[in-house]
Structure 1
Amino acid sequence: MFGVNVPVVEVNAVPEGGYLLDIREHDEWRAGHAPEAVHIPLGELAGRAAEVPRDTQVYVICRVGGRSAQAVQALNDAGWRAANIAGGMSAWALAGRPMVSDSGEAPVVA
């Protein structure tokens, strides 16, 4: 069960300019994401973890928080400082945080 050692932050606690790691799939990312987010799908994270800075707090987001909890646990177990964003992109959108899409259409949480 995830969550025992998974730090969680509310969406409005993610600081402007914080390192935001979006681990959703490519189609979810294209539909809508935070403008400054870095995209590494969960399935690629193990092979691309070196791209994630170790010297800063990492905020991890998915659609609602389940996959990002897995990523946070793995990152923290490997020495990163990571936190799961409560409610994921669904909460991000509801909070009115900035979003963009790669499709040219209005961003949505897919």
Structure 2
Amino acid sequence: MFGFLKKLLGLPDGVSPQDAQAMVKTGSALILDVRTSAERQAAHIPGSLHLSLDELGRNAGKLPKDKTIICQCASGMRSAAAAKQLAAQGFTTLNLKGGLGGWQRAGLPTK
């Protein structure tokens, strides 16, 4: 039932931290950190790009359309909004399940 509601509301599909890392390693995806600059300075996923959610609308054209964009925030809420926004502009997007917290709980590296 949740899948139906997710589709109805237009929410992006979620991807596990492990699957996201594998996609990035193969070159088929990139991780886009949509948190604030201060949040990113505290910790971030190595190799991720940064565009805060507030900057996304003005700068989405700088992102590649030939890769899946995995949106990431602290917990997954802002990144879901970012993924939905980018998908409406023709990007292929996923939302990182659990955000940076989920990434860290999975034992994956941060800087």
What TM-score do you get using the length of structure 2 for normalisation? 0.84
Q: Report the equivalent of 2:15.
A: 9
Moved over 3 A (4+): none
Q: Give the unaligned 5+ runs of structure 1.
A: 101-110
Provide the alpha-carbon RMSD of the alignment: 1.4
* Aligned-residue offset at 1:38: 0.2
Q: Distance in 2 between matches of 1:10 and 1:38?
A: 18
Identity %: 31
Q: What letter is aligned with 2:13?
A: P
Q: Distance in 2 between matches of 1:21 and 1:52?
A: 9
Q: Give the unaligned 5+ runs of structure 2.
A: none
Q: Which has the higher helix share?
A: 2
Indicate yes or no: 2:33 matched with 1:22. yes
Larger relative contact order (Cα-Cα within 8 Å, sequence gap ≥ 6)? 1
Q: Distance in 1 between matches of 2:71 and 2:108?
A: 15
* Aligned-residue offset at 1:43: 0.2
Of residues 54, 68, 71, the one that matches 2:82 is 71
